[in-house]
Structure 1
Amino acid sequence: MIAHTGSATGTISLLGAQQNELLRALSREELIALFSHLELMPLAAGKHLFDVGQELDSAYFPTNAIVSLQYVTEDGGASEIAVVGREGVVGVSMYEGECANCTAVVQTAGYGYRIRAAVLRTAFFDGGALAQQLMRHASALFAQLAQTVAGVRHGSIEQRLCRWLLDRLDRSISNELKVTQEMIASLLGVRRESITGCAGKLQDDGLIEYRRGTVVVLDRSAVERRAGSCYVAS
């Protein structure tokens, strides 16, 4: 429990945690009970929060950071299976000694709140709003994974690119994304030339503006239409 939560400092700290939408969904009392176990962490781009096979001893509630969940093949290749931002949590472990079945890499730098897995596990089994929110988030992640699989099977590269951009836009505070075509190609598992061609077409049509390392989405509605069934707003 935190002391003097009615003070200005305590109120500001709680507001900081509420930048994460899952934490914001908790009652003030539940958040106060959890808050002393939350540690604000800078999350640098490229940082691995955990790797596949690693024991999950911590979970992270991003505030303005975006984390890519990736499936890593035996030869070291990585494809993105889901993305998590301020709407959720990364690294939930409901069982002692559970190991990660994917790799989590910070893609957009920012901040997040770290909590020990054991503490979160206890809070989950205590029930209440936190347990409900964690289950909803798990369901949303499963739906995102299913949509990713369907997109790979049935979507065009342009549709998948548009969906990829929209997934980041949903979790960003602006319409400007710090990404490279090489990064997008790698995570989508396609050739860079394919992404260059699709991005060029989107730019020519006035949907995005691309300059080295940055994509600015100019017409979100049009990008959603191009994504088609590959994207469903969450």
Structure 2
Amino acid sequence: MSQTQQATINNRLLRALTPDDFARLQPHLEPMTSQLREELIGAGEPIKELYFPETGFASIVIDGLAQKIEVGLIGREGLVGAAPLLLGTDSTPQRSFVQMSGTLMRIDASVLRAAALESASLHTILLRYIHTHMIQASLTIYAHAALNLEARLARWLLMCHDRVDGDELVLTHEFLSMMLGVHRAGVTLALQNLEGAGRIKGRRKRIQILDRDKLLQLVDGSYGVAEAEYARLIGGA
């Protein structure tokens, strides 16, 4: 079987690796197709594999007693499972699952851990990625505390839009309500308001982004900081 070449990789983190670091991982990268709702990392379970999304994206969620709430979004810019691996644990109380199906590069956790220990440059770039993801998480907390529902929805739609090609998102009201920690009726009303303002167009299980600038007007600094930090530290268009 031919090995995946760095020049053809869609994952920005893999593309940003030095040629030597990519060569360390290349023989161990296994392409796979992800399915909607597929669990990638279970809460409290040993992390045996990590995932570089090529297309689609995954959610990191906390399972509360009453509902699930999304605390992180990982697409082609990142690595699912990076933080536990690099911070010295083999499990996490958070759960990661596929929110938009696509393709992934799977790698054995022990292989990636060993490679990061061998290469200071690989270790550094993975820690930089974790840093940007922690900023994303802190801004999620800010958004939940300070912004109204429409603004929080606008932020998540912008983040999802960053992780797909084109302007159409396949997102159900169920997923949106989980992302925002609200009931579906609230999501429906917020979507209607965004659509009425010409920011999006909604169809069954699909949302089309019509005007990013109008969405950006709502988010009050909760979007763009983590993305700029990623560009500064990691780059990779």
Distance 2:112 2:19 in 1: 17
1:28 Cα offset (Å) = 2.2
Where does 1:1-234 land on structure 2 (aligned, <5 Å)?
10=3, 13-16=5-8, 18-73=9-64, 75=65, 77-92=67-82, 93-94=85-86, 98-232=90-224, 234=227
Distance 2:76 2:209 in 1: 20
Q: Secondary structure at the match of 2:217?
A: helix
Deviations 1:119-152, CA, capped at 9 Å, x for gaps: 1111111233321211111101111111111111
CA pair 155-121 structure 1, distance change in 2 beyond 3 A? same
Matched residues, number? 224
Q: Which moved more, 1:96-105 or 1:120-129?
A: 96-105
1:196 Cα offset (Å) = 1.2
CA pair 102-198 structure 1, distance change in 2 beyond 3 A? same
Question: CA-atom RMSD, angstroms?
Answer: 1.8
Identical residues among aligned pairs (%): 29
Distance 2:101 2:132 in 1: 23
Distance 1:56 1:67 in 2: 16
Deviations 1:150-172, CA, capped at 9 Å, x for gaps: 11111110110001101101111
Q: Aligned partner of 2:134: which letter? A: F
Q: Which moved more, 1:134-143 or 1:119-128?
A: 119-128
Task: Say whether the 8 Å CA contact 2:171–2:207 is kept in structure 1.
Answer: yes
1:26 Cα offset (Å) = 1.3
Task: Say whether the 8 Å CA contact 1:96–1:118 is kept in structure 2.
Answer: no
Distance 2:52 2:93 in 1: 19
Distance 1:57 1:201 in 2: 43
CA pair 94-232 structure 1, distance change in 2 beyond 3 A? closer
CA pair 198-155 structure 1, distance change in 2 beyond 3 A? same
Task: Say whether the 8 Å CA contact 2:173–2:187 is kept in structure 1.
Answer: yes
1:97 Cα offset (Å) = 6.2
Distance 2:7 2:66 in 1: 40
Task: Say whether the 8 Å CA contact 1:206–1:219 is kept in structure 2.
Answer: yes
Distance 2:193 2:89 in 1: 48
Per the normalisation by structure 2, the TM-score is: 0.89
Q: Which of the pair has more CA radius of gyration?
A: 1
Task: Say whether the 8 Å CA contact 2:176–2:187 is kept in structure 1.
Answer: yes
Q: Relative CO higher for 1 or 2, CA cutoff 8 Å, sep ≥ 6?
A: 2
Q: Aligned partner of 1:121: which letter? A: R
Per the normalisation by structure 1, the TM-score is: 0.90
Distance 2:156 2:86 in 1: 29
Distance 2:221 2:148 in 1: 11
Q: Structure 2 regions of 5+ residues with no counterpart?
A: 228-237
1:27 Cα offset (Å) = 2.1
Q: Secondary structure at the match of 2:127?
A: helix
Distance 1:76 1:132 in 2: 38
1:57 Cα offset (Å) = 1.1
Q: Aligned partner of 2:57: which letter? A: I
